[in-house]
Structure 1
Amino acid sequence: MATYTEILRNEFPQIDDEVFDYITGVLECGSTDFEDGEEVFDAIGGVLQEVSSDSKNEDDIREICLQMFNTFKLDCNSVKQQVLLDAPVQLSQMAGEYDDASNDVQGIWMIKRVQNTTVDAKKLEKAEAKLKAKHERRTEKDSQKTSGPVVLEEASASQASSKKESRIETSGKSKSYDIRIENFDVAYGDRSLLTGAELTLTYGRRYGLVGRNGLGKTTLLKMMASRNLRVPSHISILHVEQEVAGDDTTALQSVLDSDTVREGLLKDEKELNARIAAGQSDGTESTKLSEIYSKLEEIEADKAPARASVILAGLGFSPKMQQQTTKEFSGGWRMRLALARALFAKPDLLLLDEPTNMLDIRAILWLENYLQTWQSTILVVSHDRNFLNAVATDIIHLHSQRLDTYRGDYENFIKTKEDRLKNQQREFEAQQQYREHIQVFIDRFRYNANRASQVQSKLKLLEKLPELKPVEKETEVILRLPDNFEKLSPPVLQLDEVEFFYTPEQALFMNLCVSADLESRICIVGENGAGKSTLLKLLLGDLTPVRGIRHAHRNLKIGYFSQHHVDQLDLNMNSVELLSSRFPGRPDEEYRHQLGGYGISGELALRPVASLSGGQKSRVAFAQMTMPCPNLYILDEPTNHLDMETIEALGRALTKFKGGVVLVSHDERLIRMVCRELWVCENGTVRRIEGGFDEYRDILHEQFCKEGFL
């Protein structure tokens, strides 16, 4: 196989000696660091394009760079021993020695350039700068790896308490199930999330907790669940946060196990019957069994399996799945199991954090109906506007390090908040005018002895006026999707007579014919397991059809947002470094501008990605996805973890976008804002619904009625 120097001479016979020495010097120094042909192209591609004098296009030069990279790999595989230097090499000293040496010295450090070279000197300097920047990034990345994962800051809570509250709590006399947490602070590391806040939860009401990403909604739930914030000890709390552990327990039994009282009584019954059967009775077993049976009857233990089965069925578990062991389920299904266990256990306070993220539309509609009859207290963090309208009786708004409570659903909250802010602004402006009026009088008669008493009276009046503050308006979230691309003739993406399966026994799609163009606004819906994510991967080309053809326009550029986007981010990097590693060679200002367009600005862009909230990580993923300016977006559950304002901004951006959109989402409002076409995955095919989301909702409602859920 030819060496890289031979490839260089053969492909560019007209190259002058200085440029040849420069390029070979770059390749020799970087041969062990280059990870692929693209990195070789980044280092020397610009210089080679200049040398080729338009005889070779960019693709040709990329292919040549790949050939040279392959020679490095061959050399690395053949060399098995390392050479250790006797002493460290000081590059700065070497550069100084070259500076004093004769001009005949050639190398990668060139002090002067011959002016008659065929390549612009600026091209060479730019290539050198690129290589230097690449080495610096790699060194920084390696040092991060050796230093281990980022150590995250911890959340903390503090709360003032009165002696009266402590006495009532320790005496056990409190029988109220209302919760009142006064004058408390919550912090995350050195950042204050809540200061002097108050939270009141009345038993039996359902509260929706809303606020911008990163303000501390999830942290507040965790502080309550861990009782770092004092909740009366007689009130049981269940926080649906972690997925169920995978073991040999069936899904149905896992749900039944969450009722510890029932399971304890059944265990005692079994032990007593075993003692009687073994002839070890002491005469008290009959009395104890009678007490156990009475308690089991009181809690309707015999109806528990049926109730657990109904909950599982509503969340999408078929009768067969209910008998499967928990270790057979994926993470998403185990999270559903955790939710089912919480609903079955009926705690006094149920804490839910984004429960709709793991559910399809059918399961969300079932959960809405189920929670409307919930007897105890719920505090739910959700970004789903329709879900909150269906479930919440009150809204708690987290902003400006405090909590404000509003009666009614989310729509009523929006209206009441706007009215409250208008009144607050009017009061502030009226007071400012009154202050100015008094100040004019004081300034006019300050030095008038006859009016001295009046001036003093006015000054005291100013001091007694309550200090009103102007309304702090939340900055509007604006997302912009770049659309500076040429129009492509339809169809730009097509699946024709496609058949696909993971196992031959069960075909997932048969005779599938769908297409999308730059005018498309498509939403794909269907139950979990119906093939929505598989359909996306077929459209992306990540999966190859067993039969049939995928057609894609040669100039099609797809932007893909995965519902597991966090798994694709390097959590040890900050957001600027993340974009720099993905799209190297651009100034930091460009990366920061791109991130700023998605709300990741200032010091937020320099924090490790691991320390960002779920919604902030999603915004970083959006910034990364849109940087290459795609002309078709394929989005898989893009609203997971986003706050209401960002979802609204995303909806507006997708509506204005001039390219195509294929969307998998369970967020009804986003679907209504963006999509004009609905594809339903079911029974191994994709069916288009002409009536849009309203027709699909009616179909699901009819199914619920048939299955006895409504």
Structure 2
Amino acid sequence: MLLQSSTRTSTPDAVLRIDGLSVQIAGARILTDISFTVPAGQRTGLIGENGSGKSTLLHAVHGSLPPGATTAGHVDTGTGSRRARVGLLHQQAPFAPTDTIGQALESAVAAERQALAALDKASDPYDADAYAAALDLAEQLDVWETDARISATLAGLGLAHVPGDRPTGELSGGQRARLSLAWLLLNRPDILLLDEPTNHLDDAATAYLVSVLAAWKGPVLFASHDRAFLDATASSLVDLDPAPTQVGAEGGVTRYTGNYSDYLAARRDVLVRWERRYRDEQAELKRMRAGVRDSHRVGHAGAAPRTESRIAKKFYGDRNAKVVSRRVSDSRSRLEKLEEEQVRRPPAPLTFAGLTAAADSVRGPRSASGGPVVVASGITVAGRLAETSLTLNGTEKLLVTGPNGSGKSTLLSVLAGVLVPDSGSLTVTGVRTGYLTQEVTLPDPHDRGAGRTVERTYRDLVGEELADAVPLSTFGLVRQRDVDRPLAQLSTGQQRRVALAVLLADPPEVLLLDEPDNHLSLSLVTALEEAIPGYPGAVVVASHDRWLRRRWTGTRLEL
């Protein structure tokens, strides 16, 4: 998680304004003509397909785009005569692995500690002017509540039990992510930017974050795949997916008021009206183009002149020429205006073809009889997984839930055979397991370097023969325009789509999905969840996602 902010001051009335922002990275256009405003106290959620530019937009606002990125437009993060402090939560922690938890937290509240020290210094010996200034700053920063805020934040994010003298490098990935979030909340930037803040939060931690954001005084702009979190938090939504803009334009955003449930209904209505308008406009354009051609002809073809006199011929010829000229001019003007204002063709949706899209080309998962295929007896992993037993039938759909640190990911790693338990036994009977890890992992057996394309990655990982039988296009996970792009240029969500395609190229009998909603777009997560009940093999899902849990119809295991 990366979070940064500028020198600590207070800007209670900060407003975030984005005006005509366009961003290009490594020759690829990511954002085009983005404009919207986030007032103080408002929480705007960014939504859109993987690769639509949500993370790029957050980095552009923060000022931390990669070297070589080009931008146009304007981002105003100021109020009055100065710029506001902007804090961003992303991938890299703001503390060194050798720092202890206590040291990391102290760096977050350094301004409060300095203000309190300045107040003590001004009081002895007493300097009235210096003391008044120091007291004013201390009151603004509420320095007397700093320790209470630290305790409340650690408790709220499930970190209160972790010793303060523990090096941050020894924390698990989830603990480090939550400590990064704690650091940012304690640092209290004027404008808060969050990229997938709930990826490592359980119910209690998510509820705590919702309560903090509800009381946040400055603008909040966040990208999230968490539908329940969007429902509970967002006061408005900005959709970065294409909207019915003018022909040739691919930028702009569509803003929706209300929560995610409101957005779903409104977005469906927008798409229906867009398709109808495009269809009607194209029919009108066809008619008008034919009309322009017909405007060159006046009267009926082959009709004899009204008189044979030379004078009459000239009279009618001149008049007809003027009529033709006027008609052609009027028709062309109307045609040019409609061509200029027409909406562009609605983009073909990237539709997930399902978990067994490759089954017709390869053997795919066998339809098991329902008997046990995986049996775990008393397995433990020291410090990560308490003693756990389970029996998985060949067609069972199992949801593994539990608070942070309960061992959900550890259990799936053991079931996948990539982690050996410290005790207990695991028996897998005649089935193949496939594992989608929580974070993106795309090992490269040929190490073709940073320029390795998406297509090359897929072929390297599944093998040439299988890639020929099951092309990457089979799954509806990657747009055709992206297959020849370097993998490194794709967003985290797009790379995870590639990892899912690799997993499904030869569907296993036991499918293990660790937090499948992480980094994936809302539409894909929904399609993925809907496909799970029909999978012919067994599926084990580890998730803290409340939306998924409310709709789960299979069996459950609470850790």
Normalised TM-score (structure 2): 0.78
In structure 2, the partner of 1:230 is 75
- Deviation for aligned residue 1:377: 0.7
Instruction: Summarize deviations over 1:105-131 as a string: whole Å, max 9, x none.
Output: xxxxxxxxxxxxxxxxxxxxxxxxxxx
**Matched residue type, 1:362:** A
1:216 to 31, 38, 53: 53
1:475 aligns with 2:349: yes
- Deviation for aligned residue 1:248: 6.4
Larger radius of gyration: 1
In structure 1, the partner of 2:89 is 240
Is the Cα–Cα contact under 8 Å of residues 208 and 394 in structure 1 kept in the other structure?
yes
In structure 2, the partner of 1:538 is 414
Alpha carbons of 1:325 and 1:489: their partners in 2 closer, same or farther (altered >3 Å)?
closer
In structure 1, the partner of 2:380 is 500
| Secondary structure of residue in 2 paired with 1:566 | coil
In structure 2, the partner of 1:254 is 104
How far, CA to CA, are the matches of 1:362 and 1:175 in structure 2? 28
2:252 to 402, 405, 420: 402
Instruction: Summarize deviations over 1:550-603 as a string: whole Å, max 9, x none.
Output: 2321x2111111123426456644344434444445175336x14542523546
Question: Which 5+ residue runs of structure 1 have no aligned equivalent?
Answer: 1-173, 277-282, 682-710
| Secondary structure of residue in 2 paired with 1:358 | coil
How far, CA to CA, are the matches of 1:294 and 1:440 in structure 2? 75
- Deviation for aligned residue 1:443: 5.4
| Secondary structure of residue in 1 paired with 2:366 | coil
| Secondary structure of residue in 2 paired with 1:395 | strand
Is the Cα–Cα contact under 8 Å of residues 193 and 220 in structure 2 kept in the other structure?
yes
For residues 68-107 of structure 1, the aligned pairs below 5 Å read none
How far, CA to CA, are the matches of 2:419 and 2:521 in structure 1? 32
Alpha carbons of 1:623 and 1:415: their partners in 2 closer, same or farther (altered >3 Å)?
same
Instruction: Summarize deviations over 1:486-530 as a string: whole Å, max 9, x none.
Output: 42451111123x15242xxx79434x3311112211111112221
**Matched residue type, 1:234:** R
Is the Cα–Cα contact under 8 Å of residues 19 and 35 in structure 2 kept in the other structure?
yes
For residues 253-652 of structure 1, the aligned pairs below 5 Å read 254-269=104-119, 285=127, 288-289=130-131, 291-322=133-164, 324-399=166-241, 400-432=250-282, 446-448=296-298, 452=324, 453=326, 456-465=329-338, 467-482=341-356, 483-496=364-377, 498-502=378-382, 508-510=385-387, 512-545=388-421, 547-553=423-429, 555-566=430-441, 568-569=443-444, 572=450, 573-584=452-463, 586=465, 589-590=468-469, 593-594=471-472, 596-600=474-478, 602=480, 604-652=482-530
**Matched residue type, 2:502:** Q
How far, CA to CA, are the matches of 1:271 and 1:176 in structure 2? 30
> Would you say how many aligned residue pairs link Structure 1 and Structure 2?
493
1:197 to 23, 27, 34: 34
How far, CA to CA, are the matches of 1:427 and 1:509 in structure 2? 58
Instruction: Summarize deviations over 1:368-390 as a string: whole Å, max 9, x none.
Output: 23322322111111111111111
**Matched residue type, 1:372:** A
Question: Which 5+ residue runs of structure 2 have no aligned equivalent?
Answer: 1-10, 65-70, 242-249, 299-318, 357-363
How far, CA to CA, are the matches of 2:370 and 2:278 in structure 1? 57
Is the Cα–Cα contact under 8 Å of residues 235 and 348 in structure 1 kept in the other structure?
yes
Alpha carbons of 1:436 and 1:588: their partners in 2 closer, same or farther (altered >3 Å)?
closer
**Matched residue type, 1:205:** Q
Is the Cα–Cα contact under 8 Å of residues 209 and 379 in structure 1 kept in the other structure?
yes
Instruction: Summarize deviations over 1:142-166 as a string: whole Å, max 9, x none.
Output: xxxxxxxxxxxxxxxxxxxxxxxxx
Across the aligned residues of Structure 1 and Structure 2, the Cα RMSD in angstroms comes to 3.2
Normalised TM-score (structure 1): 0.63
**Matched residue type, 1:198:** S
Alpha carbons of 1:587 and 1:384: their partners in 2 closer, same or farther (altered >3 Å)?
closer
**Matched residue type, 1:420:** V
| Secondary structure of residue in 2 paired with 1:524 | strand
**Matched residue type, 1:563:** Q
Higher relative contact order (CA 8 A, sep 6+): 2
How far, CA to CA, are the matches of 1:459 and 1:609 in structure 2? 46
Alpha carbons of 1:245 and 1:366: their partners in 2 closer, same or farther (altered >3 Å)?
same
How far, CA to CA, are the matches of 1:679 and 1:299 in structure 2? 45
| Secondary structure of residue in 1 paired with 2:269 | helix
**Matched residue type, 2:184:** A
Is the Cα–Cα contact under 8 Å of residues 525 and 678 in structure 1 kept in the other structure?
yes
In structure 2, the partner of 1:670 is 548
Alpha carbons of 1:285 and 1:673: their partners in 2 closer, same or farther (altered >3 Å)?
same
**Matched residue type, 1:225:** H
How far, CA to CA, are the matches of 2:522 and 2:190 in structure 1? 28
Is the Cα–Cα contact under 8 Å of residues 255 and 341 in structure 1 kept in the other structure?
yes
The answer to which of 650-659 and 472-481 deviates more is 472-481
How far, CA to CA, are the matches of 1:317 and 1:601 in structure 2? 40
